[in-house]
Amino acid sequence: MTSPLLSVENLRIELAAREWMVPVVDDLSIYLNAGETLSIVGESGSGKSMTALAVMGLLPSIGRIAQGRILFEGRDMTHMDDASLRAIRGNQISMIFQEPMTSLNPVYTVGEQIAEVLRLHKGLSNQDAWSRAIDLLDAVRIPDVRRRAKAYPHEMSGGQRQRVMIAMALACRPKILIADEPTTALDVTVQAEIFELMRELARETRTATILITHDMGVVAEMANRVVVMYRGEKVEDGEAEAVIQRPQHPYTQTLIASVPHLTTEAAPTVATQAPNTEKPLLSVRDLTVQFPVKKRFGKREMFTAVNGISFDVMRGKTLAIVGESGSGKTTAALAVARLVDAQAGQVTLDGTDMLGLEGEDLRRARAKVQVIFQDPYSSLNPRLRAGDIVREPLDNLGTLPASERDDRIAELFDKVGLHRDQMRLFPHQFSGGQRQRISIARALSTNPSLIICDEAVSALDVVIQAQILDLLQDLQRDLNLTYLFISHDLGVVQQVCDEIAVMYMGDVVEFGDRQTIFSNPSQAYTRNLLAAVPTIDRARNDSPATP
């Protein structure tokens, strides 16, 4: 047996916190063989990105390798001088990062940024480097390359920027490519394209890949082997297929449970019920939302975010609106809540014509619709105590006498699984999951008819996500709540919704119950969307490159 291309032995990484060093990776050993794809899976803070940065020799200044070795082709990189490290970086081992929006230098053209690596490591002349850069951009399928090579990063979409990053990383035909959550910031259809490209290029160039992700579906579709990390330690590793089939560690099991199942849909509960004849709680007809966009030289144009959509939601049910970024799903929901102005259409909620309300009437009607937002950090006012955050709607909208509000708040804290003593704390003293619980308590405070969950669990790690989804479902059962659930994550949608509206560029392209949408979608866009979702239970049409 030949020795592996890269091996990490007993690695311990520490970060400086106030007065002491905290280990973020401990006793980690992994190896990577030539040409294979190894996936490192874990949640944020599990140490997976730190491991990647340590291999690159790019740990932040507050971090250090406290123990262990990183051997690349038998040479210990932890004891290498800077010049030798630089000769490896970007040449033999290269890396692509999570944020395509910020990872490219905004003041240089993308062509120049690729040509730079070639001049540096391959000693190419300006002209040769540039024409090679154009070839590379062509290989990652940037259209109209000769012109686009002279574009600046801000003139490209997120997906295109990530393609540029890939071109840059592969420019010198490295032996190892490290990809740190390369598609997390991208839409699922773009993600599928990027992965397709990575697979193809890796196979062509026989580059070994370390793919860092939090998504077991991605592992199933991309990796030969997998290492599962939890709180800085390796908790499980093995052949990807074996780990997915027989996960040992409870954390791995949770990760696998969160991946959507696209073909094994159980019989939905809706179908067994008698056809619903009661009036819908929420009825939306021809809703249109437009924004003025400032064009150059002061000319104004209207951008249509939501293009005359219609849907109904029954009391006690959950309607999910799914779509990619820019589909208009959040705008539509916020227009229903009158938090964004609609240009046309009709929204009837519990018998009230929502779009017709103005002034004080509108303000009072807000009690009927409450929103749970995406970002657990920015959705709570940092200057208010948790109890006062929940109190805000009660003070402004509630019919409850002031004397009973304290009891009501305490009761809400119980309901969402927070301790009553925590009412006095400020938002920054809570974890992300706890903050979402405060948001839920706030949304419940006015006894709303409709609760809009705007990507309410998207910012949470998988384990916490599962807890919050459970809470939402328990509350729905207990209180007969109605949810309008906005999400891009089909795995999440599958767990919570009764019906689904699929939005694409401002239109609802498909509407139906969960089972129909997941197992038998009628529209091409829905099929593409579903096909793009990484899953563990679909026969791979394109298995990972075998070494």
Binding site for other proteins (CB under 8 A): 56, 58, 82, 85-91, 94-95, 97, 99, 102-108, 116-117, 120-121, 152, 154-155, 165, 168, 296-298, 334, 337, 339, 363-364, 366-367, 369-371, 373-375, 377-383, 385, 392-393, 396-397, 419, 421-422, 424-426, 428-429, 431, 439, 442, 446
Query: Would you say 297 or 546 has its CB closer to other proteins?
Result: 297
Query: Would you say 168 or 218 has its CB closer to other proteins?
Result: 168
Query: Would you say 79 or 299 has its CB closer to other proteins?
Result: 299
- Alpha helices by DSSP H, listed for 398-509, are 402-415, 432-444, 462-479, 490-496
Query: Would you say 383 or 546 has its CB closer to other proteins?
Result: 383
CB of 422 to other proteins, least distance (A): 6
CB of 427 to other proteins, least distance (A): 9
Query: Would you say 396 or 543 has its CB closer to other proteins?
Result: 396
CB of 104 to other proteins, least distance (A): 6
**64 class by beta-carbon count within 10 Å (0-12 exposed, 13-18 middle, 19+ buried):** middle
**CA contacts within 13 A on the Cβ side of 321:** 32
CB of 97 to other proteins, least distance (A): 6
* Sheet with strand 6-17: strands edge to edge: 20-32, 6-17, 63-72, 75-76
The two structure tokens encoding residue 145: 């390359």
Query: Would you say 114 or 472 has its CB closer to other proteins?
Result: 114
CB of 371 to other proteins, least distance (A): 5
CB of 93 to other proteins, least distance (A): 9
Query: Would you say 89 or 225 has its CB closer to other proteins?
Result: 89
Going by C-alpha positions, the residue among 283, 445, 287, 286 that lies closest to residue 349 is 283
Query: Would you say 79 or 428 has its CB closer to other proteins?
Result: 428
Is the CB of residue 137 less than 8 Å from the CB of residue 164?
yes
Compute the distance between CA of residue 446 and CA of residue 450 in angstroms, rounded to an integer.
Answer: 11
CB of 119 to other proteins, least distance (A): 10
Query: Would you say 224 or 379 has its CB closer to other proteins?
Result: 379
Is the CB of residue 457 less than 8 Å from the CB of residue 476?
no
Compute the distance between CA of residue 129 and CA of residue 107 in angstroms, rounded to an integer.
Answer: 19
Query: Would you say 213 or 445 has its CB closer to other proteins?
Result: 445
The end-to-end CA distance of the chain, in Å, is 14
Query: Would you say 110 or 226 has its CB closer to other proteins?
Result: 110
CA separation, residue 287 to residues 328, 346, 475 (Å) = 11, 6, 29
Query: Would you say 31 or 152 has its CB closer to other proteins?
Result: 152
Q: What is the CA radius of gyration of the chain?
A: 26
CB of 505 to other proteins, least distance (A): 23
Bridge pairing between strands 450-454 and 369-372: parallel
Compute the distance between CA of residue 162 and CA of residue 272 in angstroms, rounded to an integer.
Answer: 46
CB of 197 to other proteins, least distance (A): 19
The phi, psi pair for 335, rounded to 5°, reads -70, -35
Query: Would you say 245 or 431 has its CB closer to other proteins?
Result: 431
CB of 274 to other proteins, least distance (A): 35
CA angle 506, 507, 508 (to 5 degrees): 130
Determine the residue type at 146. R
Place of tokens 């070494």: 547
CA separation, residue 28 to residues 48, 123, 228, 451, 525 (Å) = 10, 37, 11, 44, 43
Going by C-alpha positions, the residue among 322, 268, 332, 333 that lies closest to residue 491 is 322
Determine the residue type at 471. L
CA separation, residue 19 to residues 16, 23, 24, 310, 500 (Å) = 7, 13, 16, 58, 51
The phi, psi pair for 93, rounded to 5°, reads -125, 125
Determine the residue type at 384. L
3-state SS, residue 342 = coil
CB of 441 to other proteins, least distance (A): 12
Is the CB of residue 72 less than 8 Å from the CB of residue 5?
yes
CB of 138 to other proteins, least distance (A): 20
